[in-house]
Chain A
Amino acid sequence: MTAAVGGIDLTGLTTGPAQTWGALRLVPLLRPAPVTDLRLHARLHAPDALSIVSTGPRTSYVSYVPHAFVATWSTDGTPAAAYGTQFHAPGDAGAPDGVRLTFRRRLARRENRQRLRFLPLHLALEGYLMLQFGGPPVAWQEWTRAAVTRGLSPRVEASYTGTAVTGLDDALRVFEIHPDQCGMVLYVADALAAAFVVPHPDDYRALHPTLLQDFYGDLLFHYAYLYPAVPGFVARLDDTGIGSVADLRDEMARAEAEWRAQHAVMADGLLGTERPTVTPVRRMGRFTLSRFLPAFDPDVENHIGETITDEAGRTAYLKTFRLSAAQTRRGHLLSQLAATDWNLDATAAALRTDRDGLVGRLDRAGFGHLLRPDIIDAVRRRH
């Protein structure tokens, strides 16, 4: 299922001028011709309600799910009429009233035939954790019994909601949405925080406030708190050759092309990523819902996310989450372990370190409990 393809294809989307607010820079993505046969809608759940998303017969993990989206999709290609905010009985599986828990059977599943419901980023976060969810495939003697039989469960990753990010609420409130806007790239202290693309401007307008309820990594939380303000980029017009109003218009067009190119440079960490691992989750009509993982290179920024692409691979929907440095390191370690079937010596060689070094790194990354206590204690004693 997993296919490694080129970066994210944002054909059909153009960049609008950034609007800044404090440490936040919000870059609108405009779509002159909207995608009309795929529509998305937010299903807002009761805030602060815990929900249990069951992912298989064996495991279920507790996670905070602020909202889930519902995809509406039409076969004949006619513009799908706005579905409006839908209220479905939350108790599909008999939600108990008193403890405010909502059960959802799968993260992505068919609803009514033509509608696809999925919880944003859960897919990708799950994929990230799933990477080595099964634990060691070979029962090397260094790993504990629990690691071999139960894998990394329970799987938990921490993130902040947008409301906790300083100034994000005001930045989204005062942001002036373009009439043809279909997406947004969010920078915190000029670090790419998240990208969000939807098929249609109406969807964007409806979903704009939900950016506040999304996940953001701790890095962005700290950046937003520590950086006072980012400068606005003012494109200077070169007035030497201007002799008429037509010249002025030409010069303005040139300046516009310049800042569009500049934004492409800023978003390079996401859009320029070479070969992210893309896993298709579900296919429906001409659209494919998939999640992608970065190369887990600790030296560059790493984004995980989910996309809906059409048959030509153009992005209709995109949502990303930036991993923090610690999360990237964990992913890097796990991917290296996976490459060598969890053999400690082989992994240590691949990471150009020795066995002790690797054990120490696993310990510091929070995976110490997977190793047998005598091994980890011996390493701790030696260092």
Chain B
Amino acid sequence: MSRADRVACEDVVMFVNAAITSTGQREFRSTAAAQRLSLAFLHEYVLGNYRDLYAATLALDVNHLNAAMVVTNLLRTAREAGAAQRAVEGRLIAARLRSLPPQRVYGVFRELRRLRINNRRTRAIVRDWVAARPDPAFDAVKYRRSLSVAARHAHLRLPGEVGTALFDWRRPKRYQTPILEAWRRAHYEQRALYELPYTVAEGLAARHGIDRARFLSGIAPKLTAGERLRLQASGARHRVEALVLDLATAPLTRLAIYVLSLPRAERVRRRDELTDALRAGARRAARRQAGTWGRVVAVLDDSYSAAGSGVKRRRPLAVALAAHHLLEVLAADYTGLWLHHRGDPLLVHPIGPTGLGTRLVDALERRPDRLVVVSDGWDNDPPGQAAEVLRVWRTRLDPHRATSVVHLNPVYDADTFDVRRLAAGVATVGVRDAEDVAALVELARFATGEAGFEELRRHLADRVDRFLDAERAAS
């Protein structure tokens, strides 16, 4: 592989790692501003040098913030792309916007307006996305400001009463569309409030001076899954029965975050329920791949830095806990080793230094087929020992590479524009949700330089085709 290809390969993998992990929020070791600055630079760099690959990352599991940034950047610099490129980008953007949560997409539209990007193609993209929304009247209530911004910016023709509701809502005596009528009545009538989405109802409830506990029990049936999860503590405080979480449907990593948010005493009390929920979540995430990974040993980081930051509380630890349960399902024979914690993984707590070296030896001693390390990569007890252990293992103890080592890192390191690596020659990939582990391990071989740039291009092209096919089948 030529040096240029190797650099290109590293750049793209670096960008994908960043786009998966960084949410532009504060991390344990860097501020939100540093994360955003670093991420914005990386986007500019990859967009300028590898435009087609930059667009192709929309087909990967990059997080919502980065997907939105990619879309905005592609539209912002559309004149630099050729006609053929634009056609592919347009399809990718449309497909990705459909899979993004609506508030993120409206965020993109607002950003387009702020940047004064308004051309025929952009307007068509906005128009098609809004037209494909299942219920424009619902959007007119829940995303009222955003939809009106999009409508004005892209000169949208809104169906029926939606336009009136957005721009002249006081004129009609009553609306024919039920949700618009409920929304109109909710301004005057407390009962109508509970037919509205939670975010809208909350503001109106405050205006009516409704008691929080009563409001929460009334609005409970209207909550989305994310809102329900977020309101658990609030619901418990106000003793609202209706808010009880259905553990069977929550995604694995979300579930792990929820479990770790509970005090240890409660985790002990609800041990069976929570463990079963985590196991079921892992089985759902693994699907057909369950039991296909052979003998797996995982080294899981529960050092103090796994506590994350105030805005991402215990996220790295939650990813490790979720990965523990997922790997248990994926592997035929599994052992999970925490750095400090012993016993039931449900009670894990972030504390102490990151001594990966000795734990890696413990793991490698079992001679697994696959070694998975989930850590933020700040190996400090003693510094750099993990890299040394892995190097000696590769050169002296396992020259035939019987054990494949993958490092999953949930934290983006703003200073190096990448997730922090454990050792040269060991694949490090960013991870946000443990559910994506299987797909990420696929990507890991590009991180070590084993596979060439052409192969990476083919892989991405393949992912793009699959992504577009899946979207076409869904729509």
Is B truly associated with A?
yes
Binding site for B on A (CB under 8 A): 16-20, 28, 170, 174, 176-179, 232-237, 239, 242-245, 248-249, 251-252, 255-256, 259
Give chain B residues whose Cβ lies under 8 Å from the Cβ of A259: 382
**Given A174-B305, A243-B396, A252-B358, residue A235 in contact with residue B365 (CB < 8 A):** no
A178 touches B352 (CB 8 A): yes
The answer, among A176, A239, A255, for a CB contact under 8 Å with B395, is A239
Question: A237 touches which one: B29, B305, B352, B389 (CB < 8 A)?
Answer: B389
Given contacts A176-B303, A179-B340, contact A232 B397 (CB under 8 A): no
Tell me the bound Cα distance from A89 to B235 in angstroms: 39
Which of chain A's residues has its CB closest to B29's CB?
A174
What are 23 sample pairs from A and B whose C-beta atoms fall under 8 A apart?
Answer: A17-B382, A18-B383, A19-B380, A176-B353, A176-B381, A177-B353, A178-B352, A179-B351, A232-B384, A233-B383, A234-B384, A234-B385, A234-B387, A237-B385, A239-B392, A239-B395, A245-B361, A245-B397, A249-B361, A252-B357, A252-B361, A255-B388, A259-B382
Main secondary structure of the interface of A (DSSP, over half): loop
Closest A-chain residue to B364, C-beta based? A245
Q: How many A-B residue pairs have CB under 8 A?
A: 84
Contacts of A235 in B (CB 8 A): 382, 384-385, 388
Q: Which of A18, A232, A242, A256 contacts B392 (CB 8 A)?
A: A242
Would you call B391 an interface residue if the criterion is a C-beta within 8 Å of the partner chain's C-beta atoms? yes
Judge whether B28 is part of the interface by a CB distance below 8 angstroms.
yes
Q: Which residue of A lies closest to B303 (CB)?
A: A176
| In the assembled complex, B467 has its CB within 8 A of some CB on chain A | no
Instruction: Give the CA-CA distance A252 to B354 in the complex, in Å.
Output: 16
Taking the closest CB of chain B, its distance from the CB of A78, in whole angstroms, is 26
Distance of A20 Cα from B380 Cα, bound (Å): 9
**Bound-complex Cα distance A255 to B387 (A):** 14
Q: How far is the CB of B367 from chain A (nearest CB, A)?
A: 9
A-contact bits for B365-393, CB 8 A (1 contact / 0 none)? 10000000000000011111101110111
Q: How far is the CB of B361 from chain A (nearest CB, A)?
A: 6
> Is B129 among interface residues, defined by CB-CB distance under 8 A?
no
B392→A248 contact, CB < 8 A: yes
Does residue B258 face the partner (Cβ distance < 8 Å to A)?
no
User: How distant is the Cα of A296 from the Cα of B353 in the complex, in angstroms?
Assistant: 37
Q: Are B382 and A239 in contact (CB under 8 A)?
A: no
Given contacts A16-B381, A17-B380, A19-B380, contact A177 B396 (CB under 8 A): no
Partner of A176, one of B305, B358, B382: B305
- Interface membership of B293, Cβ < 8 A: no
Hey, which chain B residues are within 8 Å of A256, CB to CB? 382
The 9 A-B pairs with the shortest beta carbon distances in the complex, nearest first, are: A234-B384, A17-B382, A176-B304, A176-B353, A237-B388, A239-B392, A232-B383, A242-B396, A245-B365
